[in-house]
Structure 1
Amino acid sequence: MDIDNFKSVNDTLGHAGGDEALKLLADTMRLVFGTHVLMARFGGDEFVLCIQNRDQEGVQAQLDKLVRSMCQTFTYGGGSVPLSISLGAVYMTEKVPYEKLFKEADSVLYEVKTRGKNSFEIRKI
């Protein structure tokens, strides 16, 4: 997942504002998913979640809640910007090498962002 138009967040609110937006995303992920999910910053404004042993419908509801929670006007240091996230998810039905897992997730994320951002999609592999 990543923050949509993150460059504009940094350009408008400065890097400190961008850092606060990243912290907001991390805090929101913790609220939505709890502590039994591996969450990692993958680079820049990209995050990876590893959710195990949960049904697809439950995960879909949580992803929807996360996307809706992050769609807001973000204010920092007297400025504000629209904030949203896009998310590409894969639901594994069998073990696959992590390279394939990341490649598929990245592909799904790219499709979501191409369709208009502020959304998510889950693909079974």
Structure 2
Amino acid sequence: KRVKRLPVIDAEGILTGIVSRSDLLKVFLRPDEDIEEEVRREVVGYLFPGEPSPVQVRVKDGVVTLSGTIPDTALVPVAARLARAIEGVVDIRCELTGTVPERMGPPEVGPMF
């Protein structure tokens, strides 16, 4: 229908602004490199600090892939939610795995009294 702009009104019907088609599409036009940098800084740097980072980030066509081995798999859904909230992210793929603690030798056996 070739609509390029729409009015934005509040609950009382008062005009509060105009939204354009380019405003709505801008989120999908963000370069993958910018998204990747923001995910590294805002998600990985916050949840998985350290050098080198245990988490690798790749972005292709707005789809973020997080991979690596992390100590706490409970943080996987948190990382996915935080990454999904970044402007321009279309989808998330989590390929994160947890570390398996090594056994420190046989368990100690105490007296059987």
Q: Which has the larger radius of gyration?
A: 2
Q: TM-score scaled to structure 2, two decimals?
A: 0.44
More helix by share: 1
